[in-house]
Amino acid sequence: MPYDSIRTVAVLGAGTMGNGIAHVFARAGYNVILRDVEQRYLDRALDTIGKNLEREVKKGKLAESEKPAVLARFKTVTDMAAIAAADFVVEAVPEKLEIKRAVLTEADKILRPEVILASNASSISMTALAALTSRPDRFVGMHFMNPVPVMVLVEVIRALQTSDAAFDLTMELAKKLGKTPVAVNDAPGFVSNRVLMPLINEAAYCVMEGVATPEAVDAVMKLGMNHPMGPLELADFIGLDVCVDILHVLQEGLGDPKYRACPLLKKYVAAGWLGRKSARGFYTYS
């Protein structure tokens, strides 16, 4: 399928990443079919998208007159059959293999044979996901960063089976969204999480071993290394449960004990201290 024939994009999953991905496609002029299992998740996603568009208007990134047109491009559905009209699909369901397997295999049966199926997985093997479908050569990783409307990076991940045509089209599509795509081959954690998660993990060890407080660790990295957020602030933003899950994927996939999750991270997760989303992690949020 030529890149310029894509008109309608389906986004599977309306959570934090899904609504952000849907937002950037609609803002770039694509019709978006946003699918989730319950209407309440879709309503919440549209509310978030509306607020984020308003923020863009206030910052001068979007004209006030454009906002209704962007919102008019959305169609929300709970029935997977509705994605049959899509010319390109991005899966953005939770980072659990069994959920991704169920969603991808169902979507694969509905889509036209030429349609590319992309996954926003942040650590699961794209090669393994591609093998679940009948279109492994038209399967690709499209790893957006959170918050999607703001962050310019998209890691475009080539599964072992991905064709050059599917890969090149996805790179071009990311540029059309105003993003900067970076080509990455399939490996546990890709580049972003393979480099970031050991940093977060080591910062957690510094706190656990009494080297410094979370505030001090983050101050050193912000003031000394010019990071906009400290690693522990960032961990709270991502979700400590997500960090532990990705570290597990890295340890299992690469077979190296250096990726084992810090016991303090695991303890916080066991306590339900997951970061911003639970109002407590390394920091407390009101």
For the stretch 13-67, pLDDT in tens is: 999 999 999 999 999 999 999 999 999 999 999 999 999 999 999 999 999 999 9
Digit-coded pLDDT (tens) for 175-208: 999 999 999 999 999 999 999 999 999 999 999 9
Catalytic residue among 119, 122, 123, 125: 122
pTM: 0.92
- Concerning whether 122 is annotated as a catalytic residue, the answer is yes
Q: Which residues contact 128 (CB under 8 A, 6 or more apart)?
A: 97
The one-letter amino acid at 39? Q
Digit-coded pLDDT (tens) for 82-134: 999 999 999 999 988 999 999 999 999 999 999 999 999 988 999 999 999 99
- Concerning whether 52 is annotated as a catalytic residue, the answer is no
State phi, psi for 113 to the nearest 5 degrees: -60, -35
Catalytic residue among 91, 95, 155, 233: 155
Residues 168 and 203: beta-carbon distance below 8 Å: no
- Concerning whether 155 is annotated as a catalytic residue, the answer is yes
- Concerning whether 248 is annotated as a catalytic residue, the answer is no
Closest CA to 279 of 50, 140, 271: 271
Q: How many residues are present in the chain?
A: 286
Q: Are strands 88-91 and 116-119 parallel, antiparallel or unpaired?
A: parallel
- pLDDT at residue 18, as a whole number: 97
